Structure 1
């Protein structure tokens, strides 16, 4: 997944770290809220974040039990190690600047990965229909007995982030070795996202080996450039999937995303029900050139520097909207995390009906920068360039500001913020001002002097992306979310031999801070979930995603296979259309 989006729940898992030193009462005297922990039962707190019970397949119970027993064996564990390690051993790096497929030879490495998949998963390639899109995108169709039912779409991506050459000698095991040390499979992509892709295929291969025939069609769609935006992969896959199944043609989609981890003695899973939007704003200043021995008061670089300081000094205002996924997440924590400090719990719960309580809760929650960034529209100055020679005045200087847009905002609102923010400085430096194709100010208004140059704002790279629609998670249209939640619980409990729900896992709506391949899939269904069933370590990320020594616990990988198996079987026998 994109680096900014990987397991965005980290911002939630750590959001209360500064609670003790920053909390204060908003009410005097305090309102006492009943604190009862029945975790999924009835009662005031449980009603704040209602939980479905674990969903064990009914008509598919026999194969679920049989496969569950198979997954417990050492023989299957060895096979799972081989599947994941073999996938890691095939380098599939993608880069930000790749030419079209067929023109850039760096795409050709995916031929080797496809050959590996054919060898590792012979039943899938023998019994499912395979369509290749733009050469390297893969669509596998496992036809169901009832073609009137909308299919389940399971998505993943084949590519991985590049390995920085200067860090290769820092890896405990070579980055594409797929080394297994008895606990972890090591290597680039072992977590992101070959564990998802290979986990999906492992589950389907195992079901095929047991003679399972689905009632509902299952589709697997694997992009090949998610780490560089998905333009060549998921975008073309989406068009083909829409051609094959139509708009709103799928019952639900599950792609990579957040996982689960422990917080205040409660295991919380946070499937992403939305994603932030994004836009890259190019800020460009042009001024007359000349010799450096006769400089003006401000060169284009100096002006740009002041503009960038202005941007960083004025971040977007942050507000926790009650209908936002992050707010739903903290409500779930308040309702189900037994060791959350009581005072903070009361503030969060009271914030549902008190604006004053909400402001106080925000003052505590936003002391954690990761959570604050998860909520608000962010800004990061990532690229800057200007000047060509030390004795020549720079005629042009520019920078790119990356914005990740809050689910309550929009591309237009984000661009409008930047326009208004920089307007006074355009006037101060007497610059003509153009923003996103429209004239903001002609300049020439300071003592009737000519403009000193131009300020231009524009969308860099591929343009802006609006925040994703929020997947229904409550009410009459929430059955897919409930099926996913029940499947998460059933897989989690079965993997640990937990009876019932009381000691298991809580499922909460979550959000992705970045974007997965699902940004191209909005037309296919309103029920899109970004969830990978990856176990976090001490409430943070799995081992070293996107950096040195990425690794996947084989126990976690087996649980991922169990999760996809459970999900497929549950969706298959569900009442979804």
Structure 2
């Protein structure tokens, strides 16, 4: 018995030693001694220019016939007048009338271009919510150090900020070594097929290959991420896939006074319940592992031990992350019932019932694999499962160790020296997915500090941006263009 206890004790000591060795071997991924970006004075006109853009309601609708294209014409006229040097010195062209592509020719054709992008269409303000806005959503009012309006965060800030940056650099007679491409879509909020997809296809046809792409995406999370109470600059290195399925049951219908044992509504409700109670398994290998690598050296010692030894503490980390919506969504393919259609009268049994269920696919999962698992979980041959639209697989996971990522990391540190930089999984979709044929280095980052509550303004009420934050955004883009010249 004593020998068994000694053996157990020895094994525990070996385990403890292994845990500590792994923990102390952790190295920080944070760049240090990064010189601050060259100070630039952003003129007051910059925020006024963005305010003017907000006053043009470039709302895009899934049904293109509902889109007021006169507002998009106004926007194009506005940017031409607002940024005269950009339109005089850069080659620019349009795609499907409103998609914009600018080319700032570099001096060294041997260097691949970089592509900086955004979109200037916005989502509608939900009917009846206008009264909930502190300031009207399309008035572009500046009060208390903030500019209010739809598009201040998603995503006119990027479009206008990039144009401001290039206009500034042109004023200083800066000439890039590397060609700079600016691509601005007009329909990102409705899948981006007229804008980004068309622009990307044209560049591919021309044989263009780029060093990296930077689109909207991660923010500077001022209230940190799980386990790290510091400002964290989150750079999206991948984005989840998208799939919507219709789950349909067909019954016999009839009078509600003589219902069958299970109605079509009951069958669909049961199917939805099964899917909700059998979520996709959590995984730490779909991109969130890179986030954990970057924050591991910045957390408390106990958390560091766990993150350095995920082979042992993986299930505990998964459980902890599953306690919040955003962290849970970053470690699994999510299941979200969004629409239910059935019945027309309270005393008539509907013949058919259909639920629409939306899935956001974690890298490593596929559209085909999700459909197969859904059928297995439902396990009812009377239920039809049909794909809605096409769906798309998750994007590639771009390398956070690439020179391009390091340039973005360096630039963030030069403008926001106190932040922790970390790669992460984008939960939503962006236009950047269309550019995967041009490069394997696609990153998603918006240099704006926001806390959890402030992010609710994206697509929500009281969307706003800090005046100082927008100025720093312009400083970031200026520094990034300069830093990307080698």
Identify whether the pair has TM-score above 0.5, normalized to the shorter chain: yes
Question: Against the structure 1 CA distance between its residues 279 and 80, is the aligned structure 2 distance closer, same or farther, given a 3 Å change threshold?
Answer: same
Query: Cα distance 1:279–1:555, how it changes in 2: closer, same or farther (>3 A)?
Result: same
Consecutive unaligned residues of structure 1, counting only runs of 5 or more, are 1-26, 37-42, 58-63, 432-454, 494-503
Tell me: CA distance 1:402–1:486, structure 2 relative to 1, closer, same or farther (3 Å): same
RMSD between superposed Cα atoms in Å: 2.3
Counterpart in the other structure of 1:490: 414
Asked whether the 8 Å contact 1:128–1:143 carries over to 2, the reply is: yes
1:3 is matched with which residue?
none
Report the Cα offset of residue 89 of structure 1.
1.0
Deviations 1:302-340 (Å, cap 9, x if unpaired)?
22122111221211111223xx42122123222024xx3
Cα displacement string for residues 408-446 of structure 1 (whole angstroms, at most 9, x for unaligned residues): 2111221111011112x33xxxx3xxxxxxxxxxxxxxx
C-alpha displacement at 1:121, in angstroms? Answer: 0.9
How much has 1:203 moved relative to structure 2? Answer: 0.3
1:519 counterpart = 2:433: yes
Query: Which of 49, 56, 59 matches 1:90?
Result: 56
Question: How is 1:549-564 mapped onto 2 (pairs within 5 angstroms)?
Answer: 549-564=462-477
Where in structure 2 are the equivalents of 1:66-81 lying within 5 Å?
A: 68-71=39-42, 76=43, 78-81=44-47
Task: Say whether 1:206 aligns with 2:168.
Answer: yes
Deviations 1:480-528 (A, max 9, x none): 11111111111224xxxxxxxxxx3322111101110012111111010
Indicate whether 1:313 and 2:277 are aligned: yes
Report the secondary structure of 2:136's partner residue: coil
What is the CA–CA distance in structure 1 between the aligned matches of 2:236 and 2:46, rounded to whole Å? 27
Superposed CA offset, 1:383-408 (max 9, x none): 11012334443122111100011112
Matched residue, 1:437: none
Which digits, 9 at most, give the CA deviation of each residue in 1:434-473, with x for residues without a partner? Answer: xxxxxxxxxxxxxxxxxxxxx321111x312111101112
Q: Tell me, yes or no, if the aligned pair for 2:243 and 2:358 is still in contact at 8 Å.
A: yes
2:424 is aligned to 510
2:340 to 384, 388, 393: 384
Distance 1:283 1:481 in 2: 41
2-structure distance, mates of 1:361, 1:480:
30
**Conserved? CA contact 2:113–2:178, under 8 Å:** yes
Give TM-score scaled by structure 2 length: 0.91
Query: Could you tell me how far 1:261 is from its partner in structure 2?
Result: 2.6
Alignment match, 2:355: 399
Q: What SS does the corresponding residue of 1:520 show, helix, strand or coil?
A: helix
The runs of at least 4 aligned residues of structure 1 exceeding 6 Å deviation read none
- The TM-score with structure 1 as length reference comes to 0.77
Unaligned runs of 5+ in 2: 1-11
What CA distance in whole angstroms lies between the structure 1 residues aligned with 2:168 and 2:265? 60
CA contact (8 A) 1:54 1:486 kept: no
Matches within 5 A, 1:80-479: 80-95=46-61, 97-99=62-64, 105-246=67-208, 249-262=209-222, 263=224, 264-321=228-285, 324-337=286-299, 340=300, 342-351=301-310, 355-423=311-379, 425-426=380-381, 431=382, 455-460=383-388, 462-474=389-401, 478-479=402-403
Instruction: State whether structure 2 residue 478 is matched by structure 1 residue 565.
Output: yes
Taking the aligned partners of 2:287 and 2:361, their CA distance within structure 1 comes to: 14
Q: Secondary structure at the match of 1:489?
A: helix
Q: Give the length in aligned residue pairs.
A: 469
CA–CA distance in structure 2, aligned partners of residues 273 and 281 of structure 1: 26
What CA distance in whole angstroms lies between the structure 1 residues aligned with 2:56 and 2:34? 36
